[in-house]
Amino acid sequence: MAEKPVYIINGFLEAGKTVFIRTTLEDPEFINRDRTLLVVCEEGIEEYDAKALEKRNIFVKYVEDFEELTAEFYQGLERDYRPDKIIFELNGIWKTEEFLDTPMPREWIVVQMITIVNAVTYPNYISNMRSMIMEHLKYSDTVIFNRCTKETDRVSIRRTIKPLNRKAQIIYEADDGVELGDEEEDPLPFDINADPIVIEDDDYGLFYLDALDNPKHYDGKTICFKAQFYHDDKMPKGVILPGRFAMQCCANDISFIGFLARLPFNLKDAVATIANKDWIYVQGKVKIEFKREYRGKGPVIYISSLTPTQKAEEDVVYFT
């Protein structure tokens, strides 16, 4: 049974989803004479010329209610259209997770999810509808910000997306659709060439992201930071996980983010009096090692000193 690729285009109303899809459908390399089924779940200002598209072997199916998207409905689409590839233009207020949970025909394979974002309205959505827009971004392979200007704060954009979805590629486009290039690097608020590298309390989130994205930058360097202590019985003696609680999406999505760390022999017994969530100040040398917890290579901190300390002014880390 031949696999059939499914492409999901997400984003709020008037973000530019329809324009993006129409442009994609005009690409002969993408269409390649395949029978293409376009499932439109939101009708915006821009429209499709269904009759013209059908002449090119592209078939449009409109869906008004989320409840229509059932396994039986998908099987009917497969039977009626026999598509070679499928494109979904999702309704921006539908929950992406619920959509992905609905079983599709076995040969339908989701290969890419793209979220289209209006860079002008994005700050307002983040301020007032954060959990809803993060629902779009959480599962995206690519996030395209259109209508970008010189005032578009790329650093702020990256910091709202990467904690939630590290694999997402971020692309910026100007008003005329010209691509401005991929995401740019954040200017780090600490000196990675210092000895030791001192991480201020407010900078832990950015340090965590950069250390996982660019572990080689820290290999062999000494690092100092404030964290909360964590160890459980499943971890070997002498291994701890110093870290912080971070808000990735909303208040209901707070999780602990930390680094694998090894204690020297003289500290293994000393930490017996330290309880989970107690605040500690850590200094140690970073080594990049293959670890299952990182699903590959990642930073392991070989601790040289660990002392109890006062808690950070902000208990929760924000990636800004």
Higher pLDDT, 142 or 253: 142
**How many secondary structure helices (H) and strands (E) does the chain include?**
10, 17
Cβ distance 143 to 117 under 8 Å? Answer: yes
Q: What average pLDDT does this structure show over 67-86? A: 96
Q: For residue 150, count other CB atoms closer than 10 A to its CB.
A: 5
Alpha helices in the chain (DSSP H): 17-25, 28-31, 50-54, 71-81, 96-101, 122-128, 130-137, 154-161, 204-213, 265-268
CATH number attached to the domain at 197-317: 2.40.50.140
Q: For residue 59, count other CB atoms closer than 10 A to its CB.
A: 18
Q: How confident is the model at residue 265 (pLDDT cuts 50, 70, 90)?
A: confident
pLDDT surpassing 90 at residue 111: yes
Fold identical between 4-182 and 197-317? Answer: no
Output the six-digit token pair for 18: 């329809």
What pLDDT is attached to residue 38? Answer: 97
Question: How far is residue 232's CA from residue 230's CA, in Å, rounded to a whole number?
Answer: 7
Question: How far is residue 23's CA from residue 227's CA, in Å, rounded to a whole number?
Answer: 48
Residue spans per domain, the chain: 4-182, 197-317
My answer on whether omega of the bond before 236 falls inside 30° of 0, hence cis, is no
Mean pLDDT, rounded, of the chain: 88
Q: How far is CA 78 from CA 83, 167, 281, in A?
A: 7, 31, 59
pLDDT in tens, 126-154: 888 887 888 888 889 999 999 998 888 88
Q: What is the DSSP string of 191-222?
A: -TTSSSEEPPGGGHHHHHHHHHH-GGGTTT-E
Domain 4-182 has CATH 3.40.50.300: yes
What pLDDT is attached to residue 186? Answer: 55
Q: Is the pTM of this model over 0.85?
A: no
Q: For residue 125, count other CB atoms closer than 10 A to its CB.
A: 18
One-letter amino acid at 226 equals K
